[in-house]
Amino acid sequence: MNNFPLSKQNTLNKQDKSKKGSIDNPISGIVNYINKLPDYFTTSSCSGRIVLFRAGRPKYKAEVLFVSHDEVKASGLSRLKKHILAAAGSKTNTLWLKQESFILHTCCRDIKAAERLLKLAASLNLKHSGIISLGRKTIVELVGAKQIQLPLVAEGQLLINEDKLGLIIKLLNKRMGENKRLLMELYQQLLKLGSSS
């Protein structure tokens, strides 16, 4: 990129355009650290989440009913159950429950900086990470590897017993814990990358 410092400054000075309007707390330390490194800056991030959504038509329209960037507690489980039970019975309702790992888009000064970041990703077994842009900007996408997605209601029919939802949430919470541990490992590796540049 011809004028990396100016592009970095302009990007970091822009207002956060995400629906939430701020960086997710579990990933904020990583984002802030990357943005202090001379060869990198972040363009978007998500720390990972558990989300319940109603599949829409057209295909890519979905209504988010519940989202948590942390483990789901008892109050969240209660809200989830209400949404699920309300959707059951309506033939047009299809609800999905999904756990997503972190995702981090990082603009790199050049291909060598991108290679260093990808080497770091490989050391953490982030096998779905890669370069997603080589045009005006070189962007690396770092993605956690673990995700779960399952339907809970289809055509208004409840696909699981209500009492099994707690077990499913326990599994998703475990995955969120693994995601947090991986974020901590990523942060440690980024500290090493920063000290070597």
> What are 142-174's pLDDT values in tens digits?
999 888 999 999 888 889 888 899 999 999 999
CB atoms inside a 10 Å sphere around CB 130: 14
- Residue 6 in any domain: the answer is no
Q: What's the CATH number where 126 sits?
A: 3.30.1960.10
How far is the C-alpha of 69 from the C-alpha of 23, rounded, in Å?
11
Unique residue bearing structure tokens 């989830």 = 80
**140 has pLDDT over 80:** yes
- Check: CB of residue 55 under 8 Å from CB of residue 154: no
Residue span of the structural domain in which 85 resides: 20-196
Unique residue bearing structure tokens 């962007």 = 139
**90 has pLDDT over 80:** no
Total domains present in the chain: 1
Q: How far apart are the first and last CA of the chain?
A: 18
- Check: CB of residue 77 under 8 Å from CB of residue 169: yes
Q: What is the mean pLDDT of residues 88-115?
A: 91
How far is the C-alpha of 124 from the C-alpha of 39, rounded, in Å?
20
- Residue 7 in any domain: the answer is no
**58 has pLDDT over 70:** no
- Residue 96 in any domain: the answer is yes
- Residue 114 in any domain: the answer is yes
Residues 6+ apart with CB under 8 A from 46: 24, 27, 69, 100, 102, 103, 104
How far is the C-alpha of 178 from the C-alpha of 47, rounded, in Å?
12
Q: How is residue 101 written in tokens?
A: 């790992």
- Residue 5 in any domain: the answer is no
How far is the C-alpha of 70 from the C-alpha of 179, rounded, in Å?
10
- Residue 15 in any domain: the answer is no
